[in-house]
A and B are shown apart, each in its own frame.
Chain A
């Protein structure tokens, strides 16, 4: 982690609505993978997987299976506290479509799907109609579950099934939409790709840190004066990032959304917005969601409510998730209500967390357990 002294925001290349579409596509095939690898671009949907490795994995699967791949831009954004994908898609849809076109050329796809929140469908379709990309782009409304943006859920939705996560015995890069090798990338990641295709890896690396280059879109909400979407440098001081939205007081911040982790005020003051720094607090930038806890609110009670919400957002497919999440929410609610003074209550929460974690088709239980664990860590001492 390199803490930068620069202000966290200079300009927002991602949210520039005036940039014309990129024509023709300047990078193709292996050149794209090389440039993306040099740029060090990672996925902005939450998991942060290196895009170059995903591109290479799709190409390898194409070689093995001999099937033509599919590319999917994922703007499902099931997280209710995130709106960066919707803002990006409605502000600069062409930049996302540029990235989608470059990605399609890089893997030799003949079909591209763009899955977006229902609110963005019209704007994105209008942008698609203005272009003449080699690979036709089909714009689809995303499912409305919290988990609908998960890679396998997106594939299921595109195949006409219910958009809920599926089993991962076969990876999506090997066997995705209708069994074809499939590249699923978050729409912000594609927008970064669109910029890298124009300006190159060195330009991309001019912001962010050496280990985590580039910028990221964040959505800041909660107890702030100016909630909204901002483009920030990786490695920027977290306090400055949150400061963009005008937080009302120095309160804990939920970093990474409902599957993220709480940071105490003194931790917010010392952390930087990157994996390396946030990782030391059990957090990660995730999809860039930052929620500022209102002063006077109970972190445990709010987390119990979030956990109950997450329980209700389970796709209802996996036993440990369906059974475990409501129990976690109820036990955390008990602890929040002041019944948590006995060590037994705390032990029961940790036991339930252990029963739930790592036992599902997707990471919904794991993310929920992470949230609950961080709440106990940050707010636990008070009860």
Chain B
């Protein structure tokens, strides 16, 4: 028995079955809804695969639960928009850029003052005095900073709607998006990673809401609820070469990104870095005793995961070609990704990618299915009880998906905690 186990392990039976199911599901959707729709779905699925890989690194490799994927994703989406949308002449032709520039210089200056005041205890000032001085100075300077920015922001909104983009290649935006998300992740990680894992959940949930609030409300930066579109694609768009060809090109690009990330992760997993990460996860105490700086490693993983979420968010937003801050929803952009990762097998990269595809196909198809079921219910209800259905039945049918996703999460945890493709943990016996 035992002698056979390694050979069985090497045959990717499970992987093949799961991949087969995914392929069949995709072919089914293409046959039902047409090729253009199918390719669109696959592009989105690859974007979700990037996001899910980011999630699985944090959760599967290091046990960090990120409940604010939405926030990092939105940062990526913002960067994709801000770098690729053409320059806004109505903004650049006024003196507003100069004013804004000066306001930023002032802000930096104020921050330096605050940092300076927070260090005066080195000059022999008692620590209590320093703390209060820092708080008061920070408070005053914050209010001054605000009074500089508010008029400029409203002037921009009045005269130019928003500052517009930088007109660069969209891929620059993807990279900067990853960077932005990584920086946000760094600060959250610095605060929370030394503490109980629950705190990270709360903090990420909070930062996601805040990022969204900023994007909805700072109209001068994001055009807020008015949305920005179209965002140019990194590949020739549908206007130039037709829907199917353009989407296929986009798919090639995102698939290459997924492949690159996957290969990078597989390499890192086998490299000393990956071994260290696994040893930290599997046995924190002994890893600490071996002198590895656990918190630093954990921060690396968290930031890396956030970077991937930023890139995935950029790719996803870029594809939809519209930046709508209000369109980032916890259900679609946090919990769906959580389901993908835990269903695919936390810490298993291939499983996560397949999980992303499988869940996304189900998600896309659940919309017409839910509507159909609802219609059947209404029809039967009408026939049997002369039941008068409430008005907005379609939107309610879609809400049932919220319930289904929630149920799916609890069921996976209870009955398949390792997911479809468990990460193979090598046990020393």
Partners in one complex: no
